[in-house]
Amino acid sequence: MYDTFIKTHFAGAHHLRDYPGDCEKPHGHNWKVEVTVRATQLDSCGMGIDFKVLKKTVKEVVDQLDHNDLNTLPAFQEKNPSSEHIAEFIFSKVEALLSSDYYSLYSVTVLETDNQGLTYYGK
């Protein structure tokens, strides 16, 4: 197995509806994102997935979040834009854009700060 990952980031505002604390108030983060693709074999160039392909695909998805009030986006109208839901959103959008017999999306990690975050592995 080969795990290929890229790291990126985005800035955005949000608030957590019905949260019993300060996070219920509008605030922002500079989220860090790590996306990992797992390859079971290599292509004819000796790669699981080209970094260039992965970066372009992830950028297309993360740009939908960058510099937005996440609560106003359609994906977060019915559920809070928590780190968990943000990771799930990124995972589902990236997964839909990637297709190969060699690799598949493995995980998305979202960090609100350098010291806290979570990893989503899909359903």
Q: How do strand 68-69 and strand 2-14 relate by DSSP bridges?
A: parallel
**pLDDT tens, position by position, 55-107:** 999 999 999 999 999 999 999 999 999 999 999 999 999 999 998 888 999 99
Per the structure, the count of domains in the chain is 1
Q: Please indicate whether residue 24 is annotated as part of the active site.
A: no
Q: Give this prediction's pTM.
A: 0.95
Using DSSP's 3-state secondary structure scheme, residue 91 falls into helix
Q: Is 112 a catalytic residue?
A: yes
Instruction: Tell me which of 15, 85, 95, 112 is the catalytic residue.
Output: 112
Catalytic residue among 15, 23, 85, 95: 23
Tokens read off for 58: 């992830």
Q: 123 pLDDT band (50/70/90 cuts)?
A: confident
CATH code at position 66:
3.30.479.10
Is 14 known to be catalytic? no
Distance of CA 7 to the CA centre of its chain: 10
Please state, for a pLDDT cut of 70, what percent of the chain lies above it: 100
Q: Which candidate in 24, 27, 67, 84 is catalytic?
A: 67
108, 65 contact by CB (below 8 A): no
Q: What angle do CA 69, 95, 90 make, to 5 degrees?
A: 20
104 is in which domain, residue-wise? 2-120
- Give the pLDDT mean for 32-44: 96
C-alpha 43/C-alpha 67 separation (Å) is: 36
